[in-house]
């Protein structure tokens, strides 16, 4: 079944972008992989449909997530890299938006956490503890008894709580905590480039005039000449909807439409029970192989 027919030029841009990713095969192989992932027999099948079919703009989030995940399985390339290539090449839509990309990446992660048993890491939860209200969370580890100690990941940290305070959220969705994608401030490099950084001071995006934003290496040590902030600690921990809306506007203002490489660290955090600052390679630390 054909799941999505892209604009011909967007298909070509996306195939070229994918072929440039680390570990990618030839352009023709990437074209056929993209055709297969979109529900077609091969590239020739897609080309035949372009001549007579209407191309719809902006498929649903679920379709984008499923297609990108299928493409990752076919090519063996990193899912985050593929999504970035598809979004930035305007494969799904001529007007991509970071809010949609965030929803797509969260839906892709959620596919890996479909078993919502109470003991499964990544299960959506709510924390009902003094000072937390009904905070959204993802399960990291649940204690064996109601009075045991459990661990969860919230938007700002890994935290421990009494197991009875960690309530399973059956209608909740997997989410990417804001500290994995939302800009906290920016550095200015000597050449005038601007580097958006996270609350944990990981580079997110490198912004250069008249060039597309570049997904930065979260482990990179940035030699900056100036530093500015979009938030302070108080405002960053303000109402989640307000902070997210401000963060998305910052990304739009800087022409960012995709998710940063730091967002790919979420599963590693759940498995290792280490926060971003503990996973990050600081100056002088040995090289680390990353998933994203």
Q: Where are the domains of the chain?
A: 8-96, 117-168, 178-264
CA distance 270 to 266: 6
Fold classification of 117-168 is: SH3 type barrels. (2.30.30)
As a whole number, mean pLDDT of residues 152-158 equals 95
pLDDT score at 54: 59
**Structure tokens that stand for 42 in this block:** 């091969």
Name which of 220, 246, 207, 261 is nearest 85 in CA terms. Answer: 261
For residue 115, the model assigns a pLDDT of 63
- Mean of pLDDT values over 140-158: 89
Provide the whole-model pTM. 0.92
- Residue 31 burial (C-beta neighbours within 10 Å; 0-12, 13-18, 19+): buried
Provide the terminal-to-terminal Cα distance of the chain, rounded to the nearest Å.
31
Average pLDDT of the chain? 90
**How many angstroms separate the CA atoms of 218 and 215, rounded?**
9
Average pLDDT over residues 199-205: 97
d(CA 155, CA 169): 16
Distance CA 247, CA 195 (A): 15
Does residue 118 register a pLDDT over 70? no
* Residue range 201-217: mean pLDDT, rounded: 95
Which of 6-15, 113-122, 212-221 is most confident?
Answer: 212-221
């Amino acid at each position: 079944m054909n799941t999505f027919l892209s604009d011909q030029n967007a298909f070509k841009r996306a195939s070229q972008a994918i072929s440039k990713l680390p570990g990618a095969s030839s352009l023709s192989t990437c074209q056929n992989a993209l055709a297969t992932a979109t529900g077609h027999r091969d590239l020739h099948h897609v080309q035949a449909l372009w001549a007579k079919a209407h191309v719809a703009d902006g498929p649903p989030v679920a379709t984008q997530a499923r297609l990108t995940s299928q493409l990752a399985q076919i090519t063996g390339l990193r899912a985050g890299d593929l999504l970035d290539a598809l979004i930035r090449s305007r494969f799904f839509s001529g007007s991509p938006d970071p809010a949609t990309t965030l929803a797509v990446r969260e839906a892709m992660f959620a596919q890996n956490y479909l078993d919502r048993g109470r003991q499964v890491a990544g299960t959506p939860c709510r924390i009902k503890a003094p000072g937390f209200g009904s905070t959204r969370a993802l399960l990291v580890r649940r204690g064996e008894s109601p009075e045991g100690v459990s661990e969860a990941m919230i938007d700002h940290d890994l935290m421990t709580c009494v197991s009875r305070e960690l309530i399973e959220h059956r209608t909740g969705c997997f989410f990417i905590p804001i500290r994995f994608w939302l800009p906290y401030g920016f550095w200015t490099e000597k050449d005038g480039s601007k580097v958006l950084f996270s609350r944990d001071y990981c580079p997110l995006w490198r912004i250069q005039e008249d060039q597309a934003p570049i997904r930065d290496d979260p482990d990179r040590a940035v030699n900056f000449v100036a530093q500015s902030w979009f938030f302070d600690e108080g405002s960053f921990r303000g109402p989640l909807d307000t902070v997210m809306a401000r963060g998305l506007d910052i990304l739009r203002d800087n022409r960012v439409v995709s998710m940063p490489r730091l967002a790919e660290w979420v599963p590693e955090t759940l498995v290792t029970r280490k926060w971003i600052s503990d996973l990050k390679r600081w100056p002088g630390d040995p090289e680390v192989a990353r998933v994203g």
